[in-house]
């Protein structure tokens, strides 16, 4: 029996080994595997505790000897929980997390066995970094990089089977100081934004001393039976199906959206949620998504650094817990053609240490002006650096989503809703007139009342916008489901920091010239509204008209990764990242190189999988069927039956034979195109060749003929699980 039928049988009959999930009160388990501030209080001396808290609050450096005390406290806590090993946990540019486990166990010089975890081991480790991508930053003879403890993200315990490992969140940097991960730049960008935002806040409120970007992500994913996935080499290797005819029923009825969650998936969700709660990930919502077998979860928002760690951790936890349930989580942006793909909306805002959300409309004229300042600066940042923001979400897998009629388009625009559009128009219409203090434009910004209207907008019209204001935050919707959102968040924080710095300078200049503060602020806001207006769009982002309109406005529409990435290394980008101390030129070049490499490899792997499946699955099945038809036709002919009685078989035979030949021809041609691409030395040219000459040229074509064969060949002979099985069997 083929793997396919074995798997189908398995799904329908064998339920005996699905684990039971017990309901637990969330507050009883929340954070129990995290060395948080409360645990620290319990396990650390006053001195060590204070030092740790100060470091978390203000990034103050922890002294070596204190680090030793903290390490001892962490070990005591971890050992009490049965932990034997520890690892520095980091986020290299491969896109997954990396760990290298060491045990606490060690031998003293006299041979006595002891458990040890000292300050040095907490602060710094040296994983063999040679096989992590570095974009040429380190020649192989100097393949040294090290991980350094990030005290602002608390250590946690990961349980795999019966083993427990202490994970220390770290950044990953080269010996020469360049960052080799997603976390170090994010922390720099967060700091840059903090500084810039505090300066601007102080125009309104001198009490603000810290501003933190906040992130609440929404993670979409598919859940598929493990046995069925194992019978699909493409899902196993690329996380997406390269072939598969549309089932009779897809998502036309939209009956899956917010429908009841299937029992098996529900058990899996409760299980991974429990694991997440233990790790301090504050998950709050779960529901079905639009496509069959698609779901979403979202936490309560947190400081951006922690939120990013939690998202990466969650993706890992989900994948592991799924195994226990004999399920597989697909995080890929487009696992199935013809139905929706998955994204990861990044809800982003700014919070002050005085407890104010800077993107929430205020209740008084003064707080409204502060809101308007941050609101307009964000729009201006997106306007000025739209290309760089677009590049931050570019990947081979997200290319399947952006530009298709389901996700925000590759054109970056900002949705703000009717009311705020009117507010900005009012301010703009005053160009040429001077604001005064008793001005309506300042005093009558009745933003508070507009919130219900904004929420209404949120639910209907702005779903197609890549960057939408949703009442008290911006939602960056074009981020892909597999992404480490640390990267787009680094970029967003940097461009807003840069814009706020310029804003503060312009306001200062006007004040120096004698303008009153509020008037100066209004003047610059007005200027920014005028100059960034073309990024605002309230209509349907999927529509053909918008594509035309965007072109007229001069907004870039970069549909493929190799081209979108250009924006990372322009003079403008180099200046931006250097001035804000995020990336040096060489770091930027390296990252660009790594992104191109990743793209090339992803497309290359998919092309190979297509070839393998066509040769080892599709064609053999189709040949068997072709032989059956041939036998049938020749026997009919022998029996001297009139041909009009087997016209159907003859037509079928012709169709099957045509598609078989087309698959052969196109796979061969694709292999040739790959060879040519592989000989290109320049990474950008090579990536473009892979995009245009391999992917665009052959993927759809090969798929077309394969999917036709799937619909023609005897179901009994087809070896790959079909969409209707993958998506609808549970």
Distance CA 40, CA 59 (A): 17
| Torsion angle defined by CA atoms of residues 393, 396, 398 and 399, in that order, rounded to the nearest 10 degrees | 100
From the list 92, 216, 480, 486, which residue makes contact with ligand ADP (rule: CB under 6 A)? Answer: 216
- The Cα-based distances of 100 to 190, 321, 426, 618, 676 in angstroms read 27, 21, 58, 40, 38
Instruction: Give CA separation, 455 vs 52, 99, 546, in Å.
Output: 40, 42, 23
43 binds ligand ADP (CB under 6 A): no
Separation of alpha carbons 528 and 534, rounded Å: 11
The residue (of 121 and 479) whose beta carbon lies closer to Mg ion is 479
Q: Which phi and psi angles does 282 have, rounded to 5°?
A: -80, 60
89 binds ligand ADP (CB under 6 A): no
Told to check if 349 binds ligand ADP by CB under 6 A, we report yes
Reduced 3-state DSSP string for 652-694: HHHHHHHHHHHHHHHHHHHHHHHHHHHCCCCHHHHHHHHHHHH
d(CA 40, CA 720): 52
The region of 71-79, 176-184, 273-281, 293-301 touching ligand ADP under the rule CB under 6 A is: 293-301
11-19, 466-474, 568-576, 667-675 -> range binding ligand ADP (CB under 6 A) = 466-474
- CA dist., res. 526 & res. 625, Å (int): 70
Cα–Cα distance measured from residue 156 to residue 603, given in angstroms and rounded to the nearest whole number = 35
> With contact defined as beta carbons under 8 Å apart, do 352 and 479 qualify?
no
Whether 370 contacts 504, CB under 8 Å: no
Residue least distant from ligand ADP (Cβ) = 216
| Token pair 């195994």 in the structure block, residue | 323
Least Å from the CB of residue 344 to Mg ion: 10
Mask 624-643, x = binds ligand ADP (CB under 6 A)? --------------------
Partner interacting with residue 346 (select from Mg ion, ligand ADP, none; CB below 5-8 Å by kind):
none
For residue 272, give every residue at least 6 positions away whose Cβ sits within 8 Å of its Cβ, in sequence order, or none.
Answer: 314, 317, 318, 321, 322
Helix (H, G, I), strand (E, B) or coil at 294: strand
Residue 493 engages ligand ADP in binding (rule: CB under 6 A): no
611 binds, among ligand ADP, Mg ion, none (CB under 5 to 8 A by kind): none
> Candidates 62-70, 207-215, 339-347, 716-724 — which segment interacts with Mg ion by CB under 5 A?
339-347
Among 181, 218, 273, 406, binds ligand ADP (CB under 6 A): 218
Task: Give CA–CA dist 245/232, Å, rounded.
Answer: 14
Give the nearer residue to ligand ADP in terms of CB position, either 301 or 698.
301
Of 2-10, 344-352, 655-663, 665-673: span binding Mg ion (CB under 5 A) = 344-352
Based on the shown chain and the rule CB under 6 A, indicate whether residue 348 belongs to the binding site for ligand ADP: yes
300, 431, 530, 676: which one binds ligand ADP (CB under 6 A)? 300
Are 612 and 706 spatial neighbours (Cβ–Cβ below 8 Å)?
no
Site string (328-347) toward ligand ADP, x via CB under 6 A: -------------------x
Token pair, residue 709, equals: 């064969």
Q: Examine residue 310 and tell whether it contacts ligand ADP (CB under 6 A).
A: no
For residue 284, which phi and psi values (nearest 5 degrees)? -130, -35
Q: What are the tokens at 450? A: 């507009």
Nearer to ligand ADP, 346 or 397 (CB): 346
Stretch that binds ligand ADP, among 260-268, 296-304, 374-382, 705-713 (CB under 6 A): 296-304
Which lies closer to Mg ion via its Cβ, residue 154 or residue 471? 471
Site size for ligand ADP (CB under 6 A): 15
* Through-space distance between the first and last CA atoms of the chain, rounded to whole angstroms: 21
Member of 188, 232, 380, 473 binding ligand ADP (CB under 6 A): 473
Comparison of 244 and 471: residue with beta carbon closer to ligand ADP: 471
Q: Is 473 in the site for Mg ion (CB under 5 A)?
A: no
Cα distances from 376 to residues 11, 444, 500, 665, in angstroms, run 53, 17, 10, 55
Q: Are 215 and 488 in contact (CB under 8 A)?
A: no
Q: How far is the CB of 470 from ligand ADP (least distance, A)?
A: 6
| CA angle (692 as vertex; 488, 659 as ends), nearest 5 | 120
Nearest CB to ligand ADP, comparing residues 225 and 296: 296
Classify 286 as helix, strand or coil: strand
For position 456 contacting ligand ADP by CB under 6 A, the verdict is no
Instruction: Please identify, using beta-carbon distances, which residue of 69 and 276 lies nearer to ligand ADP.
Output: 276
CB atoms within 10 A of CB 513: 8
Per rule CB under 6 A, is residue 214 in the interface with ligand ADP? yes
Least Å from the CB of residue 346 to ligand ADP: 8
Specify the DSSP class assigned to residue 143: -
Binding flag, residue 345, Mg ion (CB under 5 A):
yes
Position 530 contacts ligand ADP (CB under 6 A): no
Per CB under 5 A, does 344 bind Mg ion?
Answer: no
The verdict on 310 binding Mg ion (CB under 5 A) reads no
CB-based contact 199:208 (threshold 8 Å): no
Judged by beta carbon, residue 92 or residue 409, the one nearer Mg ion is 409
In the complex, the residues that contact ligand ADP under the rule CB under 6 A are: 214-216, 218, 298-301, 347-349, 357, 470, 472-473
In the complex, the residues that contact Mg ion under the rule CB under 5 A are: 345
């Amino acid at each position: 029996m083929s793997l396919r039928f074995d798997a189908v049988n398995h799904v329908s009959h064998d339920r005996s080994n699905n684990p039971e999930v017990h309901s637990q009160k969330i507050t009883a388990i929340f954070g129990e595997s995290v060395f948080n501030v409360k645990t620290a209080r319990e396990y650390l001396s006053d001195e060590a505790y204070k030092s740790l808290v100060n470091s978390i609050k203000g990034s103050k450096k922890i002294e070596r000897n204190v680090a030793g005390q903290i390490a001892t406290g962490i070990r005591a806590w971890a050992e009490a929980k049965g932990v034997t090993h520890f690892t520095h946990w980091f986020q290299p540019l491969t896109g997954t997390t990396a760990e290298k486990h060491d045990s606490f166990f060690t031998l003293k010089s006299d041979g006595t066995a002891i458990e040890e975890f000292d300050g040095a081991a907490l602060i710094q480790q040296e994983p063999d970094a040679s096989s992590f991508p570095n974009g040429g930053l380190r020649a192989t003879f100097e393949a040294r990089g090290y991980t350094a403890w990030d005290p602002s993200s608390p250590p946690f315990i990961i349980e795999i089977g019966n083993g427990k490992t202490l994970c220390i969140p770290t950044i990953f940097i080269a010996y020469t100081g360049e960052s080799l991960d997603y976390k170090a730049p994010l922390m720099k960008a967060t700091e840059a934004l903090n500084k810039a935002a505090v300066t601007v806040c102080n125009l309104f409120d001198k009490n603000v001393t810290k501003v933190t970007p906040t992130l609440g992500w929404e993670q979409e994913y598919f859940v598929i039976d493990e046995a069925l996935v194992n019978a699909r080499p493409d899902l196993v290797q690329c996380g997406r199906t390269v072939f598969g005819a549309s089932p009779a029923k897809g998502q036309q009825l939209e009956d899956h959206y917010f429908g009841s969650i299937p029992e098996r998936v529900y058990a899996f969700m409760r299980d991974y949620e429990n694991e997440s709660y233990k790790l301090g990930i504050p998950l709050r919502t779960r529901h079905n998504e639009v496509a069959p077998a698609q779901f979403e979860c979202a936490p309560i928002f947190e400081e951006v650094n922690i939120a990013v760690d939690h998202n990466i951790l969650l993706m890992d936890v989900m994948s592991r817990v799924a195994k226990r349930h004999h399920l597989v989580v697909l995080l890929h942006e487009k696992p199935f053609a013809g139905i929706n793909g998955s994204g990861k909306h990044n809800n982003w805002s700014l919070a002050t240490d005085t407890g104010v959300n800077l993107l929430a409309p205020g209740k008084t004229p003064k707080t409204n002006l502060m809101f308007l300042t941050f609101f307009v600066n964000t729009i201006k940042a997106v306007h000025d650096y739209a290309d760089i923001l677009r590049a931050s979400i570019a990947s081979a897998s997200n290319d399947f989503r952006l530009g298709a009629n389901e996700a925000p388009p590759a054109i970056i625009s900002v949705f703000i809703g009717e009311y705020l559009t009117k507010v900005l128009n009012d301010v703009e219409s005053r160009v040429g007139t001077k604001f005064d203090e008793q001005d309506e434009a300042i005093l009558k910004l009745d933003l508070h009342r507009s919130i219900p209207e904004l929420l209404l907008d949120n639910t209907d019209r702005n779903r197609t916008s890549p960057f939408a204001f949703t009442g008290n935050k911006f939602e960056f919707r074009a981020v892909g489901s597999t992404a480490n959102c640390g990267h787009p968040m680094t970029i967003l924080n940097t461009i807003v920091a840069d814009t706020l710095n310029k804003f503060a300078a312009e306001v200062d200049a006007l004040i120096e010239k004698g303008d009153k503060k509020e008037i100066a602020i209004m003047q610059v806001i007005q200027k920014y509204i005028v100059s960034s207006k073309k990024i605002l769009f309230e209509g349907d982002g999927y529509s053909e008209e918008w594509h035309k309109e965007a072109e007229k406005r001069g907004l870039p529409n970069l549909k493929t990764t190799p081209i979108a990435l250009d924006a990372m290394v322009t003079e403008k980008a180099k200046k931006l990242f250097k001035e804000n101390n995020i990336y040096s030129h060489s770091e930027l070049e390296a990252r660009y190189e790594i992104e191109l490499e990743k793209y090339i490899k992803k497309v290359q792997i998919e092309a190979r999988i297509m070839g393998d499946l066509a040769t080892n699955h599709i064609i053999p099945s189709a040949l068997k069927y072709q032989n059956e038809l041939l036998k049938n036709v020749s026997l009919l002919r022998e029996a001297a039956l009139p041909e009009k009685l087997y016209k159907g078989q003859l037509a079928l035979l012709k169709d099957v034979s045509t598609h078989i030949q087309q698959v052969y021809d196109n796979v061969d041609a694709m292999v040739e195109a790959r060879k040519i691409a592989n000989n290109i030395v320049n990474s950008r040219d090579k990536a473009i060749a892979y995009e245009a000459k391999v992917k665009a040229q052959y993927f759809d074509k090969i798929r077309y003929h394969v999917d036709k064969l799937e619909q023609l060949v005897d179901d009994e002979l087809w070896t790959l699980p079909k969409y209707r099985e993958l998506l609808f069997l549970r």
